[in-house]
Structure 1
Amino acid sequence: MTPIRPRTDADLDACVKALFEVHAADRYPVDWPADPARWLTPADLVRAWVAVEDGRVTGHVGLARVEPEVAELVGAPVAGAVTRLFVAPGARGGGLAARLLDVVLAQAAPLALEVSDEGRAAIASYERHGWRRVGSTRAAWLNAAGEPALLHHYLSP
């Protein structure tokens, strides 16, 4: 089983490599950031974890602080938000994404997350694991069709 541990600054280059694989396969993030290491370390990040196998980052997840309007949007108080969750294409199918979510949920609950409507596999995974869609909004950024992306908001089980 792939170990999951807290992310360190020394992991960022390997995280960027894994994120690039995810971007090439899934267009996540939708637009490749000018500074991907900084994108992986947003200002609201509380902690982050990585899955590492044979010295290679195969997965990543972060826990972020949330603004009060998130609680209003999801209809419940939330302790934080899942952010920057991804699993490298070669590491999929073994439950790693669910394990990464469990690590974050062990730190704080309930949690919120948002996912683009284009992320069909991610949506199916969240719903399989008991996350409940509580609303949808339009993003300020554009989807593959050049329209404001449709974001679905979820509350943890």
Structure 2
Amino acid sequence: MTTTLRPRRPDDLPELVRLLGEQQPSSGYPVRWPLPFPVEEFLVRDDEERAWVAEVDGRVVGHAAVGQVRDLGVREVLRGATGGVGVAAISVLFVAVDLVGRGVGGRLLDEAVAFIRGTGRLPVLDVVRTHGTAVEVYRHRGWQVVGEARPAWLPADREPVLLMALPESVGSPIGSPDEVSVEVPVEVSVEVSVERQEHHVQADVALGG
């Protein structure tokens, strides 16, 4: 299987809309479904900086984007937790159901991280708290929980989302160790591959998830 990444094009949207809807029942992403606005607006956002699709044998099978953090509450939490460094959020990361476990999600995530680091900023994202598997997948890849927040898109009956950041070196602290005290539900061992669980990943920091 040959996986390639390329910038998203306007003509990718119909297939991405279909893929997003197809994988939502198993991943729970997006949290709100059906969306209260056109799915195309979820995929393409005003503050988006870059977006990629993954292709396997010419077929679009995944998507990821990078954008700014708009939600003021989330920005405040991140500012306090990271010491005010510049950040960018990985968002709208999903993969076709039939290719979960094939490394597509990991490729997209790595591409987004590389872009953010290339601009001198810190990669951040959020995870719905009840998705303990996703939290452990990210931790296994070096991400750290730096706080929690209630972005505007989060339903009132949901617990705050967990905010995570990826330091330059695995294990390096982000901000002061006294600033973060968040209990995270643990559902699986950290020895879970990101590819096997990639469709459970929530990567939508304050961007309308």
TM bucket (normalised to shorter chain) is 0.7 to 0.9
Structure 1 residues 74 and 94: alpha-carbon distance in aligned structure 2, compared to 1, 3 A threshold:
farther
Structure 1 residues 130 and 82: alpha-carbon distance in aligned structure 2, compared to 1, 3 A threshold:
same
Structure 1 residue ranges without an equivalent (≥5): none
Instruction: Say whether residues 1:148 and 2:158 are aligned partners.
Output: yes
Structure with greater proportional strand content: 1
Structure 1 residues 43 and 149: alpha-carbon distance in aligned structure 2, compared to 1, 3 A threshold:
farther
d(CA) in 2 for partners of 1:59, 1:85: 7
Residue of structure 2 in register with 1:81 after alignment? 89
d(CA) in 2 for partners of 1:119, 1:155: 17
d(CA) in 1 for partners of 2:88, 2:108: 15
Instruction: Say whether residues 1:51 and 2:19 are aligned partners.
Output: no
Residue of structure 2 in register with 1:129 after alignment? 141
| Residue 104 (structure 1) aligned to one of 89, 96, 112 | 112
Q: Secondary structure, in 3 states, of the residue corresponding to 2:26? A: helix
d(CA) in 2 for partners of 1:118, 1:87: 20
Instruction: Say whether residues 1:61 and 2:64 are aligned partners.
Output: yes
* Conserved 8 A contact 1:12-1:37: yes
Larger radius of gyration: 2
d(CA) in 1 for partners of 2:133, 2:39: 23
What RMSD over aligned residues (CA atoms) do the two structures have, in Å? 1.9
Q: Secondary structure, in 3 states, of the residue corresponding to 2:126? A: strand
Structure 1 residues 88 and 120: alpha-carbon distance in aligned structure 2, compared to 1, 3 A threshold:
farther
- Aligned-residue identity in percent: 33
Amino acid at match of 1:117: R
* Conserved 8 A contact 2:78-2:147: no
Number of residue equivalences: 154
- Give the ranges of 4+ consecutive aligned residues of structure 1 lying more than 6 Å apart after TM superposition: none
d(CA) in 2 for partners of 1:90, 1:73: 40
d(CA) in 1 for partners of 2:23, 2:131: 12
Instruction: Say whether residues 1:94 and 2:102 are aligned partners.
Output: yes
Could you say which structure has the greater relative contact order, defined with CA pairs below 8 angstroms and 6 or more residues apart? 2
TM-score, normalised relative to structure 1: 0.86
Residue of structure 2 in register with 1:13 after alignment? 14
* Conserved 8 A contact 1:139-1:148: no
Structure 2 residue ranges without an equivalent (≥5): 168-209
Amino acid at match of 2:124: A
d(CA) in 1 for partners of 2:81, 2:22: 31
d(CA) in 1 for partners of 2:80, 2:57: 41
